[in-house]
């Protein structure tokens, strides 16, 4: 009888059905606007990139402003010393070596295998860049039209110059949607023209993020851990931040780097870029921002204007948004202490995924 009991226990311990318990692991993600990364600039920034890898220890690096396309992304991977990295790069615009800021792409460099990718382009042109990886790995990219048609309150055409997103599905059930939305750069001179440009810039951001939100919501519905992340060029500044279709009547204020004056917008804020996600204005998918309380993430205002106040006050413009229903899988987002040769601080966060 004793021998029989021992055998039963032994078989129970070795049973494959019992042993297959899902294990969770923590991934460390860094999102960073690397600033106009041509191949030549990455070469001069190589030490900074190496230091970023050592200091921040990312498993996944998400980049904006990759002006040199796939070659620049590979140069970043080389600087990190990641010889077996998986690299995904968008191909929204033709290469422009004379004005590289006209061809800024998105990129993901990952130690975690990439299993599928879709490029959502506002103007599909048939041009895509296959994902590369170790041992000659290549993964074709599916291109689809990014459209906001049919989205109540934020539908309509997306600017032909807008960057879309790439949906990058990685092993472990995580899907990343990097973004680089329309900036608030204004070249107009008269107060009326400046105000109209501010409103148009916000509308361009809104319609793009509404379309991206719809695509990301589908990933959430399919059970994938999803993240929208990158340079939103939008803040939670009081008066500017809006979270409903109705907007205030924006008043004129100077076109210079400065915190947003709340008196310029009484009532609902005029820029709903972040509110579209946070308030679930698209198909009722509610997102929460890990970066909501971060201080400024862009150094450009100080550097360009020799110490003047930043264009965005002391608020982040680089963000990480995750579905409210999945928020327990994520740790807090933090800002790196160093710029690493860019004009944006990297943002770091961790996420639990299935192994």
339: CATH: 3.60.10.10
Give the mean pLDDT of 189-209.
Answer: 92
The total number of structural domains in the chain stands at 1
Residue 187 pLDDT class (50, 70, 90 cuts): confident
92 conformational bin, left if phi > 0, alpha if psi -120 to 50, beta if neither: alpha
Q: What pLDDT score does 152 carry?
A: 86
Q: What pLDDT score does 177 carry?
A: 98
Q: Where would I find the beta strands (DSSP E) of 111-170?
A: 114-121, 131-132, 138-139, 142-145, 165-170
Give the mean pLDDT of 199-215.
Answer: 95
Q: What pLDDT score does 185 carry?
A: 80
**What's phi and psi for 218, nearest 5 deg?**
-65, -35
Q: Would 325 be classed as within a structural domain?
A: yes
Q: Would 84 be classed as within a structural domain?
A: yes
Residue 15 pLDDT class (50, 70, 90 cuts): very low
How far is the C-alpha of 72 from the C-alpha of 211, rounded, in Å? 28
Give the chain's end-to-end CA distance (angstroms, integer): 40
Residue 99 pLDDT class (50, 70, 90 cuts): low
How far is the C-alpha of 350 from the C-alpha of 265, rounded, in Å? 36
How far is the C-alpha of 31 from the C-alpha of 336, rounded, in Å? 10
**Smallest Cα–Cα separation from 131: which of 164, 90, 186?**
90
Does the structure show a pLDDT above 90 at 147? yes
Q: What pLDDT score does 18 carry?
A: 42
297 conformational bin, left if phi > 0, alpha if psi -120 to 50, beta if neither: alpha
Summary mean pLDDT of the chain: 88
How far is the C-alpha of 299 from the C-alpha of 309, rounded, in Å? 10
Contact predicate 316/295, CB 8 Å: yes
Q: Would 16 be classed as within a structural domain?
A: no
Contact predicate 71/121, CB 8 Å: no
Does the structure show a pLDDT above 80 at 125? yes
How far is the C-alpha of 106 from the C-alpha of 163, rounded, in Å? 9
Q: Would 256 be classed as within a structural domain?
A: yes
Q: Six-digit token pair at 102? A: 């006209």
Q: What pLDDT score does 7 carry?
A: 41
Beta bridge partners of 175: 169, 226
Q: Would 11 be classed as within a structural domain?
A: no
Q: What pLDDT score does 245 carry?
A: 85
Q: What pLDDT score does 11 carry?
A: 37
Q: Would 35 be classed as within a structural domain?
A: yes
Output DSSP code: residue 181: P
Q: What pLDDT score does 13 carry?
A: 41
Contact predicate 107/82, CB 8 Å: no
Percent of the chain with pLDDT over 90: 72
Contact predicate 262/269, CB 8 Å: no
Residue 307 pLDDT class (50, 70, 90 cuts): very low
Helix axes 46-56, 69-80, angle to 10 degrees: 60
Give the mean pLDDT of 18-28.
Answer: 71
Give the mean pLDDT of 222-244.
Answer: 95
Around Cβ 102, how many Cβ atoms within 10 Å?
A: 13
Q: What pLDDT score does 253 carry?
A: 87
Percent of the chain with pLDDT over 70: 88
Ranking 133-137, 157-161, 205-209, 213-217 by mean pLDDT, the lowest is 157-161
Give the mean pLDDT of 122-145.
Answer: 96
Q: Would 1 be classed as within a structural domain?
A: no
Q: Would 15 be classed as within a structural domain?
A: no
Q: Go through 266-282 and write b for each residue having 16 or more CB atoms within 10 A of its CB, e for each that does not.
A: eebbbbbbbbbbbebbb
SS3 at position 37: coil
**Smallest Cα–Cα separation from 52: which of 38, 71, 68, 35?**
35
Ranking 92-101, 290-299, 328-337 by mean pLDDT, the lowest is 92-101
- Domain, as residue range, for 126: 24-354
Query: Residue 40 to residues 105, 108, 186, 228: CA-CA distances in angstroms?
Result: 16, 19, 28, 29
């Amino acid at each position: 009888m004793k021998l029989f009991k021992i055998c039963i226990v032994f078989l129970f311990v070795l049973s494959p059905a019992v042993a297959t318990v899902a294990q969770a692991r923590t991934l460390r993600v860094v999102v960073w606007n690397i600033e106009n990364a041509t191949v030549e600039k990455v070469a001069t920034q190589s030490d900074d990139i190496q230091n970023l890898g050592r200091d921040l220890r990312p498993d996944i690096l998400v980049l904006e402003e990759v002006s040199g396309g796939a070659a620049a992304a590979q140069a970043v991977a080389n600087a990190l010393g990641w010889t077996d990295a998986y690299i995904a790069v968008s191909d929204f615009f033709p290469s422009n070596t004379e004005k590289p800021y006209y061809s800024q792409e998105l990129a993901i460099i990952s130690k975690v295998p990439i299993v599928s990718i879709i490029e959502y382009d506002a103007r599909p042109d048939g041009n895509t860049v296959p994902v590369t990886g170790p041992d000659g790995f290549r993964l074709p990219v599916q291109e689809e039209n990014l459209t906001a048609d049919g989205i109540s309150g934020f539908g309509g055409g997306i600017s032909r110059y807008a960057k879309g997103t790439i949906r990058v599905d990685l092993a472990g059930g995580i899907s990343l949607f990097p973004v680089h939305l329309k900036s608030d750069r204004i070249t107009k001179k008269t107060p009326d023209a400046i105000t109209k440009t501010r409103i148009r810039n916000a509308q361009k951001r809104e319609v793009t993020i509404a379309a991206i939100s719809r695509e990301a919501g589908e990933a959430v519905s399919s059970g994938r851990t999803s993240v929208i992340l990158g340079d939103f060029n939008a803040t939670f500044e009081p008066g500017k931040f809006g979270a409903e279709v109705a907007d205030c009547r924006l008043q004129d204020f100077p076109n210079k780097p400065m915190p947003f004056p709340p008196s310029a917008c009484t009532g609902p804020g005029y820029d709903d870029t972040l509110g579209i996600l946070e308030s679930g204005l698209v198909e009722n998918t509610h997102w929460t921002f890990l970066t909501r309380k971060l201080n400024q993430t862009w150094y450009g205002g100080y550097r360009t204007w020799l110490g003047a106040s930043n264009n965005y006050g002391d608020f982040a413009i680089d963000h990480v948004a995750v579905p409210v229903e999945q928020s327990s899988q994520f740790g807090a987002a933090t800002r790196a202490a160093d710029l690493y040769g860019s004009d944006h601080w990297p943002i770091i966060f961790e996420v639990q995924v299935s192994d």
